[in-house]
Chains A and B, each alone.
Chain A
Amino acid sequence: MKKFKAITGAFIFCLVCLSCTDRESAFKEYIEREDWDSLLQMYDTSSDSLRANEISYIDIALAAKGELAERAFNYLQGGPACLFPDWHLQEWEAEILTDIYYQAGHIALAQRMAFEADVCYAPEHSNRMLKRLVQTNIIYCNWPIAEKYICILEKEGGKWRDWATAQREFLNRQDLVEQNEEYGIKKRCIPDENFISLDRGIVADLKDIIKANPEHRNTVEILGVYYLLALDFGVFKEFLDEYYGTEILPELPRSFAEAACMLSEETPGYWKTVGVGASTYREYVDFKNRMSAGLSLDKYRGTYWVYVMKMNTR
């Protein structure tokens, strides 16, 4: 019997390990393929336990799809470090940072963190980080160094070679870079005037990027969600006052609208001034009433209000 139990135990252990390994490799594969839909399908919005890199990649996937401000709080967020993790010289942190900076249009830091991440793999390399170095160097029109990384990726064969070879058409062709859907809009994110990255904090950098390229909606969404994750309502209101109604933010996505309802506590009727629907505001009032009465808030799972409540009770 003991022997049977031991064999059964070992079998279950192997299954669990296999399952973890499969999940981990699928996670990596989706990131590598930038298959954001599949990555998001891996996660249940009701999940109460996500690893730090998982929630960061959910945010990156949402940003890549242009849905960050709409859906970020469907998932269990843990604060502003989910978007911009602290950098402790670990490759996984650098990989997240290069991805979120790239989504935010911060090309200088996207390039820097890709380089840092790649060096972390020494003496090996990360093809995904080399790809980012190709992208960012093409955006900066640094042709010789972009070509060096293209050559290295071409030696890898398969999908890396195919992708890298396709990038050759951009070398020495700034006009093509500017016309390209991805590179063109990222290139316009580079501010005309140089600044010291992060010297004034990420917020100031993102604002400069928005100023440089008011078409880059992702930067606005990332900045707004960053404020919301930090529970920084004062600056979030200033943010809405500045951008709401402009070309880049004609309507508020869900989390911004929910936050605007909360701002109406201090400034009655504020929600109306930023185009929030009456139904959303009624839901907010209902949410507050239920919370006061100690009733279930299940129907409000996935709202920004629940995030605020959870963070305040931590």
Chain B
Amino acid sequence: MKAILIFVLTVLPHIFPDYREVTVPANIAPLNFSVIEQSVNSFRVVLSSGPVSFTLKSRSGDISIPERKWQALLRDGNGTVKVEARARKEGEWIEYKPFNIYISPDTIDSYIAYRLIPPGYEVWGRMGIYQRCLENYEQTPIAENRLTEDNCMNCHSFSNRRPDRFMLHMRAKFGGTYICKEGKIEKVNTKTPETIAAGVYPQWSNDGRYITFSVNDIAQFFHSKDPNRIEVFDYESDVVVYDVERHEIIACDLTKSPDWFETMPCFSPDGKSLFFCRSKAVDKMPRDYRDARYDIVRIDFDPQSGHFGKTLETIYDASSSGKSASLPRISPDGRFLLFTHQSYGQFPIWHKDADLYLVDLEDGSLSTLDALNSEDSDSYHGWSSNGRWIVFSSRRDDGLYTKPYIGHIDADGKVSKPFLLPQENPRKFYLDLMYSFNLPDFITGKVMVTPEEMAQSAIRDEAVQVRYRKD
């Protein structure tokens, strides 16, 4: 019998995606990964949890976990999967320091929805809104612009994560807001003479009655030498609420003021509060783009009458410390405000310093969520239905193509190291992919409206013109 020499290393293996010490839900698809090491021609990986244990071999370093074995680990194991990797390098076996994958008892919504778009500037090419089952690797389209003459589509939002209630925008050809409710699609034009643009950055209330948008005069420019590459800014912006039943856009002086930029609103889960970002209006854009610094404010909203409250409450004051906050999202239990924190501006996706922060609305305490954040942009986040998972877009891997990361958050707001959306062969998938995952958000099931039905509505339907009401 030939003796095998094993060197035991004290370092963890370099793997992609980095699933070392991550926390995952028990209903997640197998976390396939690749061991990235030079001059290695054979790998062995042992996965074990309680009584379950199996060995996988690979020449390329791509580790593909059979679904049944993965499920046995999660179902019959002890809640922690131990991963031991060995590599054969120049005829000798080396063993890396083992790592764990922690299995949370908190389940996750079975789907996420996102837009796939080249992370570009003016040309978008092919794009679409897609849904992905988290329990396997199946991705299916919700809407694709190849069916609507390559127009732009964006800003999807689901009411309370329901797959039968969602909306999205189309721009240019077939422009309009498409509201899908229990299988019926309604096309509306949200631009009114009283508002500066059609609605963007939507959030649909949990009861399905209202959608809050901002209306923005948006522009972008390109840095000559700045890690952020691109700046997206507003010349002006306001926040409005759209009454889906009355086809009415509503705003008040506190959400639509010429002295302020108001943008990126969201409802509280009970629909009685509207949160949004607000900066003092900057006169000389784009020259003074760094002067736009947003706070997160709150105003009462009465869903019964459709009236706003009379005062604004500052929930997170970023500007007084020379910072900026955007994309507020409230946890399903109403306790936490999750938002993006950056040096300036409201469009964090191009800001390398953009990080996710959390405010406990019960006591006002702030958490910087270091375990979730990276050196690059982390933004565009959403809560799962049970409030135990956060999905967000991150540029941490290559600095350009955003990918969806999912992180666990416990009842006290403590977060764990996030994991990248699993793929059958993640190394190949993410390397070949020339699209960004934009605006990932949880949904509780599969959207049954087809891309063809969306396209038919776009081509066939006349848009309902909404009217404006000042509150």
Contacts and interface: CB of A to CB of B under 8 A. Distances in A.
Contacts of A199: 221, 286-287
Interface stretch (A162-170, A188-196, A297-305): A188-196
A144 B398 contact: yes
A197 B123 contact: no
Given A116-B123, A119-B123, A119-B124, A190 B286 contact: no
A197 B120 contact: no
Given A120-B123, A151-B431, A108 B398 contact: no
A112 interface: yes
A115 B122 CA distance: 10
Nearest to A205: B224
A123 B287 CA distance: 36
Interface in A166-209: 190-199, 205, 208
Interface of A: 87, 89, 94, 106, 108-109, 112, 115-116, 119-123, 125, 142, 144-145, 147-148, 151-152, 190-199, 205, 208
Interface string B137-169: 000000000000000000000000000000000
Nearest to A121: B125
A119 B223 contact: no
Contact of B120 (A116, A144, A152): A116
B121 A112 contact: yes
Interface of B: 118, 120-126, 221-226, 231, 286-287, 397-401, 431-432, 434
A122 B126 contact: yes
Given A115-B121, A116-B120, A120-B123, A145 B225 contact: no
A115 B120 contact: yes
Contacts, number: 81
Nearest to B222: A197
Contacts of A190: 224-225
B171 to A, nearest CB: 13
Contacts of A89: 122-123
A148 B395 CA distance: 14
Most buried by A among B123, B126, B226: B123
21 contacts: A87-B122, A89-B123, A106-B224, A115-B118, A116-B122, A119-B118, A119-B120, A119-B125, A122-B118, A122-B125, A142-B400, A144-B399, A148-B431, A152-B434, A191-B225, A192-B225, A194-B225, A195-B223, A195-B224, A196-B231, A208-B224
A148 B399 CA distance: 11
Contacts of A151: 431
Contacts of A147: 398
Given A116-B121, A196-B224, A199-B286, 10 more contacts: A87-B122, A108-B223, A112-B121, A115-B120, A115-B121, A119-B120, A122-B126, A144-B398, A190-B225, A194-B225
B222 A108 contact: yes
Contact of B223 (A116, A125, A194): A194
